[in-house]
Amino acid sequence: MKKQFFLFEKIMIGYCWLMAAMILLIGRPFAEYQGALLFYLSVSVLTFLIVHYIDIDKNRFNKVIRYFYPAIMFSFFYTMTGGQMFMLFDSFYDWQLTAFELSLFGVHPTLYIDQNLLNVWLNEIISFCYFSYYFMIPVFMITVFVKKEYKILASFLASTCIMFFSSYMLFFLYPIEGPRWHYLGQFQNTIEGPFFRQAVEYVIANGAVRGGCMPSSHFGVALVIWLYTFRYYRKAAYIILPIVIGLGIGTVWGRFHYVSDVFIGGLIGFLGTIIVWKYEKNLVNSSSNEV
């Protein structure tokens, strides 16, 4: 029996092979990238093995493995970007982005917020929205899985793969370290908050990659989740919309991203989702014509 690859698995394998090829072509000194090369090749092999041996029609546990292992792998993919940040360039280009935003807005948005808008309770509300990102993917996926709407789950994973992998490549194609590093020493105030701000700071201090800034994958993925929620669970979409908007604001408010990062992240998330939906529609139409 021919094994079926989901679209998200094809995207994962394609990304792994692309990154492996880039490491072989431009990863110098090569010794520094051997671990990354082994990682990408191993993940592609693992994906093939899972597709070959894990039959989703056999039982529900197999479905858990097939639909949830990519979500687990995203964190490992993200971690790998730290060692690839300067695969093409040897420095960050924040100076270019900040000059562009200054010409566009007349101020540096991050510094303007620092000097004029910070408020403990507003900080806390926006930090709550930002922190909610870390629960969005598991909550959405578990909810859809429990509802047994597996086609939606597979589609969402494909859109999320496009969002994440596009972001991870842009991290080294245009290295940006972000406002909290670029403006270090220029901030006049600290961002105070009793709980959620502290939680955000803890996660960033222990899990963030320096340079994983352009684009904002946080906002991009949050937008992907909102688009799927709006399409399939309309009432819930109206409920989470303020949180998604607050998350986008929080990326800049919290000094993690520039406005440009948020815009590009949202654009990739939107276009990636539209591409997946168009692909699925064409697939359905092709099947109907064959019948």
Report the predicted TM-score, pTM, of the whole model to 2 decimal places.
0.92
Segments in the chain below pLDDT 70: 1-2, 284-291
**Residue ranges of domains in the chain:** 90-290
Two structure tokens written together for 201: 């700071």
Cα–Cα nearest to 159, from 79, 233, 220: 220
**219 near 262, Cβ under 8 Å?**
yes
Q: What are phi and psi of 176, to 5 degrees?
A: -130, 125
Two structure tokens written together for 127: 């930090």
Q: What pLDDT was estimated at residue 167?
A: 95
Q: What pLDDT was estimated at residue 210?
A: 84
How many whole angstroms separate alpha carbon 16 and alpha carbon 23?
A: 11
Q: What pLDDT was estimated at residue 288?
A: 52
How many whole angstroms separate alpha carbon 61 and alpha carbon 277?
A: 27
Q: Give the CA distances from residue 101 to residues 104, 178, 273, in Å, rounded to whole numbers and listed in that order.
A: 5, 13, 27
Alpha helices by DSSP H, listed for the chain, are: 7-26, 34-53, 60-81, 94-105, 109-116, 120-131, 133-146, 150-173, 179-182, 196-207, 217-232, 234-253, 259-290
Q: What pLDDT was estimated at residue 289?
A: 54
**140 near 221, Cβ under 8 Å?**
no
Cα–Cα–Cα angle for 210, 82, 215, nearest 5°? 60
How would you label 95-113 residue by residue, b for 16+ Cβ within 10 Å and e otherwise?
eebbeebeeeeeebbbbeb
Q: What pLDDT was estimated at residue 4?
A: 86
